[in-house]
């Protein structure tokens, strides 16, 4: 027997119209200088709806964005999906080769680009035949704008368009909740980048999942700063989540300078911020010079958050970095860390260890670990290590225009390529990416665990451990380290520091000291680049 509840679709249109109805006066601040309200931003999205129609951008067409975190970018975030077009946020740090591959693969019909970023994408324009219009987003820079009939000015486009005055939500039938709303490509570290095609339904459910109490739990009184770029898996759902909750948004604009971000956190009284660990590392030296007392929740993910880094924030700001694990394929948040009631009276060192775990799955997300060879499910005993697999309503079930191949199991779970343990309480601890594990003399060394040990030395700012081919042991660990300015720490000292924490045969064969470590397009440490140099050395 069916239930008798209303068959209403889950759509991003509801997020927009809810913000208009309930939180019209709440603010969206860009770069600390431009202050608009949700009424303004949603009003511009309504104008954009008409403008896209006038440009002949059909339903289902991909609308690319190549932009920093700004209110204009947010307007496209809303205006494209609520009109049944697909928002494709493009990583602005891609090589020309990957950029061209992705835009051509997505067949973007129109691309919205920050004026200051034109030099990074315009040289490729001739090789991007699907793009009929380039809409330039003013960003305060004076970068030259190409004289080309395909190039339009965003502000003029919006000013010249009448706002759509109806209800976007009413244009969605029940089945339309499964329409594509967003497209993000994976980084392509293990083959060509793959497109993850989010639906309205998956986006709304992911929003609700992260909004749930006890998780990120965004609420109306929050001031949310997505430092994580809006092209990195939809800024982890923070922009839509903030709007749904009625929280104010602070968008950093095009600068990722630590001083700029810290100033924004202080002056805007930011309560919730999210960033990858390398960014939290870059902000750490400046924490003492700012009043960050409004902070209530800091989110860290994308790669492992070293316990020492989280503790630095707990000491300086009073709030640890809450660990989260996810993937572009998981919208991206699948797992969130933190302690539970049972840990309340535990010794602090144990609580630190619990917080260092990636955490527990969000409601509606199922996780399991399986034996890599046999595919058999492994026990949740905190010891067995297996490949992590995930299933849930905001987990990808396939990729855009490529065969699913090895990425999914026969029963439809996503194979993550990560190795993890799961304990009896459901806490997940990531051991390593399968491809980052170091195989030494037939035994595995976890690069993540070694990095955590090395990062606990007070002079270590950044560390990445990669495998170097070795004639005797197959592979041996090499540690790449960036030290605090003025530090005189040596390899011997770091070895002495980690010796009590890891097995003797885990000790790196070499420490290579660099001023800074190479980063990927999403700001994570680039093991690929380091592995190449380890191989050559
Ligand atoms: P990529 O890193 O390939 O650009 P994603 O941003 O989707 O693409 O990254 C997903 C991967 O990042 C995960 O499979 C995992 O290896 C790693 N990752 C994400 N969050 C964490 C975390 N909290 N701890 C350790 N690794 C993480």
Stretch 297-316: mean pLDDT:
96
Q: H or E element: which one contains 69?
A: none
Q: Please pick, among 20, 34, 100, 439, the residue that the annotation labels catalytic.
A: 439
Share of the chain above pLDDT 70, in %: 99
What's residue 424's pLDDT? 97
Angstrom distances, CA of residue 24 to CA of 146, 243, 272, 418:
36, 10, 21, 42
pLDDT in tens, 421-448: 999 999 999 999 998 999 998 888 999 9
Measured CA to CA, the distance from residue 279 to residue 381 in angstroms comes to 33
Q: Which of 121-125, 136-140, 474-478, 527-531 has the weakest average pLDDT?
A: 527-531
CATH 3.40.50.12780 fits 14-24+35-207, yes or no: yes
Look at residue 73 and tell me whether its pLDDT is greater than 80: yes
Mean pLDDT taken over the chain: 95
Six token digits for residue 281: 């590392």
Among residues 83, 186, 421, 522, the one annotated as catalytic is 186
Choosing from 75, 329, 449, 475, the catalytic residue is 329
36-50 residue pLDDT tens: 999 999 999 999 999
Concatenated DSSP letters of 156-210:
HHHHTSPPP-S-SGGG--GGGGGSEEEEEE---TTSS--EEEEEHHHHHHHHHHH
**Strand 386-391 and strand 414-422: pairing?**
antiparallel
Spacing of C-alpha 262 from chain mean position? 20
For the residues 211-223, what does the mean pLDDT come to?
Answer: 91
Ligand 1 atom at minimal distance to the Cα of residue 433: 16
| Residue 329 is a catalytic residue | yes
- pLDDT confidence bin for 189, thresholds 50/70/90: low
What's the pLDDT at 214? 79
Place of tokens 């790196």: 508
Q: Give 306's pLDDT tier (boundaries 50, 70, 90).
A: very high
- Out of 3.40.1280.30, 3.40.630.30, 3.40.50.620, 3.30.300.30, the CATH code matching 437-536 is 3.30.300.30
H-helix or E-strand spanning residue 250: strand 248-251
- Compute CA 96 distance to the chain's CA centroid, rounded to the nearest angstrom: 21
How many whole angstroms from its chain centre is CA 373?
Answer: 30
Instruction: Give the tens place of pLDDT for each residue, 222-267.
Output: 999 999 999 999 999 999 999 999 999 999 999 999 999 999 999 9
Share of the chain above pLDDT 90, in %: 91
Query: Residue 399 above 70 pLDDT?
Result: yes
Determine the Cα–Cα distance for residues 319 and 302; give it in Å rounded to an integer: 19
Q: Which class for 485: exposed (0-12), middle (13-18), buried (19 or more C-beta within 10 A)? A: exposed
Ligand 1 center to residue 421 CA distance, Å? 16
Mean per-residue pLDDT, 489-509: 95
User: Which pLDDT value is given to residue 536?
Assistant: 63
Indicate the domain borders of the chain: 14-24+35-207, 437-536
439 belongs to the catalytic site: yes
């Amino acid at each position: 027997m069916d239930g008798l509840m209303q068959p209403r679709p889950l759509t991003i249109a509801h997020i927009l119209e809810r913000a208009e109805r309930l939180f019209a006066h709440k603010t969206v601040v860009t770069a600390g200088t431009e202050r608009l309200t949700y009424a303004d931003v949603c009003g511009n999205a309504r104008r954009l709806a008409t403008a896209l129609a006038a440009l002949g951008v059909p339903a289902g067409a991909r609308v690319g964005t190549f932009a920093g975190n700004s209110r204009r970018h947010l307007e496209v975030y809303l205006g494209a999906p609520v009109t049944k077009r697909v928002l494709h946020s493009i990583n602005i740090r891609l090589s020309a080769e990957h950029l061209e591959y992705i835009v051509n693969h997505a067949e973007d019909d129109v691309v919205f680009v920050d004026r200051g970023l034109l030099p990074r994408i315009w040289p490729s324009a001739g090789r991007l035949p699907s793009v009929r219009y380039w809409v330039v987003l003013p960003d305060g820079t004076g970068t030259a704008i190409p004289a080309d009939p395909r190039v339009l000015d965003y502000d003029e486009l919006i000013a010249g368009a009448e706002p759509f005055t109806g209800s976007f939500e009413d244009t969605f039938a029940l089945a339309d909740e499964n329409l594509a709303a967003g497209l993000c490509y994976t980084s392509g570290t293990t083959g060509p980048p793959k497109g993850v095609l989010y639906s309205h339904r998956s986006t709304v459910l992911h929003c609700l999942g992260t909004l749930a109490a006890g998780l990120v739990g965004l609420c109306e009184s929050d001031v949310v700063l997505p430092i994580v770029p809006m092209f990195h898996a939809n800024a982890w759902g923070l922009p839509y989540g903030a709007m749904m909750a009625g929280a104010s948004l602070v968008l950093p604009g095009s600068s990722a300078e630590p001083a700029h971000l810290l100033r924004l956190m202080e002056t805007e009284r930011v309560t919730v911020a999210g960033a990858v660990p390398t960014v939290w590392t870059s902000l750490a030296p400046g924490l003492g010079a700012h009043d960050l007392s409004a902070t209530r929740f800091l989110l860290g993910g994308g790669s492992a958050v070293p316990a020492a880094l989280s503790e630095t924030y707990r000491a300086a700001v009073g709030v640890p970095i809450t660990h989260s694990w996810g993937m572009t394929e998981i919208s991206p948040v699948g797992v969130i860390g933190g302690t539970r009631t049972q840990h309340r009276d535990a010794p602090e060192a144990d609580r630190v260890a619990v917080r260092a775990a990636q955490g527990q799955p969000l409601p509606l997300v199922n996780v399991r670990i399986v034996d890599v060879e046999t595919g058999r499910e492994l026990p949740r005993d905190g010891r067995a290590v297996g490949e992590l697999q995930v299933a849930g309503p905001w987990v990808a079930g396939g990729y855009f225009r490529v065969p699913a191949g090895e990425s999914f199991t026969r029963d439809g779970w996503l194979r993550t390529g990560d190795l993890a343990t799961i304990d009896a309480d459901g806490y997940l601890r990531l051991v390593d990416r399968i491809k980052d594990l170091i195989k030494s003399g037939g035994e595995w060394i976890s690069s993540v665990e070694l990095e955590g040990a090395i990062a606990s030395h007070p002079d270590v700012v950044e560390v990445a451990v990669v495998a170097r081919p070795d004639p005797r042991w197959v592979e041996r660990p090499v540690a790449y380290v960036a030290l605090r300015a003025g530090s005189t720490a040596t390899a011997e000292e770091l070895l002495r520091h980690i010796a009590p924490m890891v097995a003797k045969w885990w000790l790196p064969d070499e420490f290579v000291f660099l001023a800074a470590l190479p980063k990927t397009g999403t700001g994570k440490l680039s093991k690929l680049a380091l592995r190449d140099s380890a191989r050559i050395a």
